[in-house]
Amino acid sequence: MTRTLIRCGWVITMDEALGDLAGAEILVEGDRIAAVGHRLGAGAETVIDASDMIVMPGLVNMHLHTFQAGLRAIGSQWLAPDYFRHFYGDIATRFGPEDNYLGTLFGALNQLDSGVTTLFDYCHNIRSLEQAERSVDALADAGLRAVFVHGDGLREPAAPGRLPERRLHPRERVAALVDSRFSGAGKAAHGGRVTLALGIAGPHWADWEASLANVRLARDLGLLASSHVTKARRDAVVPDGYDRLAAMGLLGPDHNLVHCNLLDEEEIGRLLDAGCSITSTNMNELHDYPHGSALTKVRARGGMPSIGIDVEPMVSGDMWREMQMALLFARNRGIRERAAAGLGPAMIRSREALAWATVGGAQALGMADTIGRLKPGFKADLIMLRSGDLNLFPVHDPVYAAVEQAHAGNVDTVMVDGILRKQAGRLLFPTDRRQALGEALAASAARLMAEAGYRPAPA
């Protein structure tokens, strides 16, 4: 078992017992953290000098449609109806297996490069087993920890406002995917770092019979389910659908709900009481909707928020920006609400926002005892930030620096499962392969837009 000793400048463990440490060391054995502390006195085959770096848990991106990476920024001036008309209802339907592979690979590499070690890849664009398999292959090739969220895609372009409500998830395809990529040789190819979940159409987007069947399919297969909750209750296909599922015992920690930004606090409370996790994508929700995100309502109800990116054609894929946006939104909303109630300000701590991007994601994934913290026995998923970079130097408090000031360009080193994936500021993905595949991605994006007859509007 390979041993790696990391000599750190600062360590943000996100563990209450260990706290933050200055001048400490981390010992990695194989894919796990063996020890964290001062002067460990441990021998190791590899020693990493991170004495001028902030070492911290890798970020957890809890929602990204990764296959869309080749179309970055084309919808910067879209609102939600434009996205459904141009992308989900048209361009996305033209993707083939290799288009999915290329977009997912480059989207995942960007996440890894920017300090994300775990990605919840919500791929709601699958029409064939091969398309699903090539998406999983891309995540495996990128080298990060990922949950591939299999979502059934539209078969053909849809007229505006005419998305189908009969959205049964294909059991046979999911079973075949389990056999080909998540067992035996298929699982060995990615070392178990890629796991499977279902991205299902729930009551906001599917009729009751389909919603019920989809939730039961995930339960039958023992898989985490995730569904989009992006409508006001009155506009949902089945307005009381989630309450009915909860009453039947079909919601729990194995169900993740994304957005929920149009729900009131009472309904969010009922979903949390049922055990669901709720993920906010703050940049996207502030871009698209007048109501902001559900994050403050989740906090108010005692839930642990998790955060993600959502749609790179519309917003940045940088999780540091997402974390900072989430914190600014929550602070501003809190100040306004307390002022309206005649109360003084109460500041949300920077460390809490870092928890949304680490511990919160780990909890939503059911991996809270494996990732999200740097402590003995946990997976060796960690990142290192250069403390000497001009935007961080001098570091007075590592949490303030990481949460309030850092960006993707500060990420020097990334380790996933004890394997270095980025070092000295460079991804360890073959340069010649990246260049060739990058040319293929650009050609894929150009073809998809041409087939859809789409040209981005002037900036």
* Strand ranges in 205-324 using DSSP code E only, listed in sequence order: 225-229, 255-259, 277-280, 306-307
In this model, does residue 167 exceed pLDDT 90? Answer: no
The DSSP line for 45-69 is: SEEEEEEEEEEEEPEEEEEE-GGGG
In this model, does residue 162 exceed pLDDT 70? Answer: no
Give the lowest-confidence range in 185-189, 235-239, 301-305. 185-189
Structural tokens at position 303: 């839930």
| Residue that is written with structure tokens 């898989």 in the block | 223
- Tens-place pLDDT, residues 127-140: 999 999 999 999 99
Q: What type of residue sits at position 199?
A: G
The whole-angstrom separation of Cα 204 and Cα 214 is 13
In this model, does residue 148 exceed pLDDT 90? Answer: yes
Q: Which residues of 265-283 are buried (b: 16+ CB within 10 A; e: fewer)?
A: eebbbbbbebebbbbbbbb
Mean pLDDT, residues 202-216 = 95
Structural tokens at position 92: 């996305």
Q: What type of residue sits at position 309?
A: I
Counting residues of the chain whose pLDDT is more than 90, the rounded percentage is 88
The predicted pLDDT at position 388 comes to 98
Give the three-state DSSP class for 33.
strand
Whether the Cβ atoms of residue 67 and residue 110 lie closer than 8 Å to each other: no
Whether the Cβ atoms of residue 369 and residue 375 lie closer than 8 Å to each other: no
Whether the Cβ atoms of residue 257 and residue 229 lie closer than 8 Å to each other: yes
Mean pLDDT, residues 231-250 = 94
Whether the Cβ atoms of residue 26 and residue 15 lie closer than 8 Å to each other: no
The whole-angstrom separation of Cα 22 and Cα 335 is 33
| Residue that is written with structure tokens 């360590």 in the block | 11
pLDDT band at 164 (very low <50, low <70, confident <90, very high): low
Provide Rg for the chain, Cα atoms: 21
Mean pLDDT, residues 109-113 = 98
Mean pLDDT, residues 425-446 = 98
Helices in 91-223 by DSSP H: which ranges?
97-113, 129-142, 171-181, 184-189, 208-221
Counting residues of the chain whose pLDDT is more than 70, the rounded percentage is 98
Give the three-state DSSP class for 8.
strand
The predicted pLDDT at position 112 comes to 98
The predicted pLDDT at position 5 comes to 98
What does the CA dihedral 385, 388, 389, 391 come to, rounded to 10 degrees? Answer: 100
The predicted pLDDT at position 405 comes to 98
159 exposed, middle or buried (CB, 10 Å; 0-12, 13-18, 19+)? exposed
Give the three-state DSSP class for 449.
helix
Whether the Cβ atoms of residue 310 and residue 281 lie closer than 8 Å to each other: yes
The predicted pLDDT at position 378 comes to 98
The predicted pLDDT at position 345 comes to 75
For residue 260, give the nearest of 346, 214, 202, 325 by alpha carbon.
Answer: 202
The whole-angstrom separation of Cα 292 and Cα 286 is 5
For residue 357, give the nearest of 387, 400, 334, 327 by alpha carbon.
Answer: 327
pLDDT band at 149 (very low <50, low <70, confident <90, very high): very high
Whether the Cβ atoms of residue 167 and residue 204 lie closer than 8 Å to each other: no
The predicted pLDDT at position 190 comes to 86
The predicted pLDDT at position 236 comes to 92
Average pLDDT, the chain: 95
The predicted pLDDT at position 254 comes to 98
Q: How many residues does the chain have?
A: 459
Mean pLDDT, residues 229-243 = 93
Whether the Cβ atoms of residue 125 and residue 422 lie closer than 8 Å to each other: no
pLDDT band at 1 (very low <50, low <70, confident <90, very high): confident
For residue 172, give the nearest of 150, 192, 148 by alpha carbon.
Answer: 150
Phi, psi dihedrals of residue 313, rounded to the nearest 5°: -60, -15
CB count in 10 Å sphere of residue 188: 9
Strand partners, 414: 383, 422
- Tens-place pLDDT, residues 407-419: 999 999 999 999 9
Asked whether the bond before 394 is cis by omega within 30 degrees of 0, the reply is yes
